[in-house]
Structures are given as structure tokens and as C-alpha cells.
Structure 1
Amino acid sequence: MIEEKTISSDRVYTGKTISLKVETVEVPNRGYQKREIVEHNGAVGIVAITPENKVVLVRQYRKAVEKELWEIPAGKIEIGENPKECAIRELKEETGYSAENMKLIHKFYTSAGFSNQKIYIFLAENLIQGERNLDEDEFLEVHEIDKDEVYNMIARNEIEDAKTSIGILLIKELI
């Protein structure tokens, strides 16, 4: 097994969503290297299927890419919260929906070369409509789109968000 031994670690930034640390590591047969690591508490994405067999997507502006994106409902895991609790909370906050069935279908690292962020993808079925409760800094539209059209949106590159593409493609054979 190849492993990098951490020699030192310096946290250079701590923010609301991420932290950044710089580690000095010993690399086998190569001496020492620096690693810049973005730390994130993790997130969830929810592929929510309505009783009419439509996929619930949100459309929101993302400053990091300077445009609106189509996404599955998603959110950051709070400290002390488990992924399923987060998925239940985020689905309700962003869409107003609750799900009778919430099942973990996949988890993945978003970019393991520089971040420890892991996203957990859930399938939410048997939805019950309720009231949305967006966070004060969230501005998004909720759309219900036919599943075949959502697959076409991926094929046409209209869906560019990785967690959304992964989640939707995972459920292609399930619904």
C-alpha cells in the first residue's frame, strides 16, 4: 500500500463552508511535498421522484461558475448530522417535499486530489408536498421534469452539475 506520512499540518483558513490546510508529507522515494487540502463536512444530493414519475430539479445561480445550474436538491451536512437526516432536511427546505422512502444509493468524493468532500446520493420516493423553508441565502426555483427529458438534458449538456448527473444516471434503471 502506498501512503504519504504527514510531517506537519497548518490550517491557513477556516470559513463557514470549508477549511484549507497545507500539509507537508513524506512521499516514498521522493522526499517531501506540500499538499493543499480543502476540508468540507460533506453534502447530500437527493434524486426525488414525484408520484407522477417526474424528477424534482432546482435551478439556482452558482457564483463559482457565474451561471444558473440545474441541480438535484442538495445541501451541506451540518456538524453532528448524519447524511440521511441531512437529506430529509434539505429536501423539505428546498422543495417542500417529504419522502416516505429515502434510500442511500451512492457516495463519492468530489475531487480527492485536493478535497475530502464526500457527497451522499439518496433516492427519495413516495413524496408528500408541503411548505418550503429556504435558508436566508438561498434563491432557487423548483421544477418537476419528466425523467426522459432529464436524461436528454444530460445528453445535451444542459445539466453540468456532477452530483446531479451521477444521481440521475444511477436511477435510470430504478424508476
Structure 2
Amino acid sequence: MKRIVTALVNNQSGVLNRVTGLMSKRRFNIESISVGRTETDDISRMTFVVDVEDEAQCEQLIKQLHKQIDVLKVWDITDQAIVARELVLIKVLSNPQIRTEINGIVDPFRASIIDVSRDSLTVQVTGDSEKVDALIELLRPYGIKELARTGLTAFPRGQQRQVTEMKPYSLIK
């Protein structure tokens, strides 16, 4: 079962390595990971999509993450109302004759062509994983030269606050 776990961590060298090392040591498979600064320069948000066997294993992961020195707060946001997005760049084989056809595929996904060369074009798309996967499958017959995915990034919708709305895993150090 896939779970979306988000953590606030100190923005310091080695934090990502220690967190992923912990997950690797405990045999958690990280399906995707994204990390970036928050509105506070010295704090970063990590978003993991992890494959766990059950809720108990997810709770164990969260407890283990809390033991890390630079981890400030951790939440499992899987069952919350969340805003979640992924960015993908897709380099597709193309020639001038099929570019209009590819543009017709890309437009309904609100994706954009961000680079054009003699024999390829690069498409940028953001959205949930299902949307991204659907576009990739439609472009696959044209020949995908390269593909890069950022991994999911997410947080609760609207006025929800992670501290009060999430499961009681949060721990302020």
C-alpha cells in the first residue's frame, strides 16, 4: 500500500542522506521523493511516496523519522484532502510533419512544449500521477527519448493545518 509522508526538516547538508539511509536500512521502498525549501529558508519539506505493508508499518516509519535529529515534524497525509503535484519533462521524437499532431495531444492536458529541435520536442506537464501517466502513454507511440519526473510534492488543502488536522504523529523538538 502506498502512503504519502511529508516531513519538515532542518535545511542542512546530509539530512536527505540520513533520512533515505534510515528508510533503506528498514527496507522501505521509496517510490518517489521531492525535497525543497519552505517559506522559511532554514527548513525544507520532504515528501515521500513509500510502499508499506500496513498502517502499523507506516506508523513505525514515522516514529523512526522522529528519532532523526534534523527532523522537526512528520505526517502521513495519504488520507487527508491534499494538493499534490508532480512535474515531468518528456523528450519526444518528432519531425515537422507530426508536431501539430503532438501539440493536439498535449493541449488537453494543459501541458506545454518548452523546447523544439530538428528531431525532437520537450513537453512539460504538471499534475497528479494519473494525468502524467496518461500523457506519457499517449506520447509513447511517437518515441520517448528521455523522461524526467520530479516525484510527488504535496500538502493539505485550504485552511487545514498539519498540526491539528493530521494524525497525532507531530512532535516539535
TM-score when normalising by structure 2: 0.29
Q: Which protein, 1 or 2, shows the higher relative CO under an 8 Å CA cutoff with sep ≥ 6?
A: 2
TM-score when normalising by structure 1: 0.29
Going by fraction, where is helix more abundant, 1 or 2?
2
Going by fraction, where is strand more abundant, 1 or 2?
1
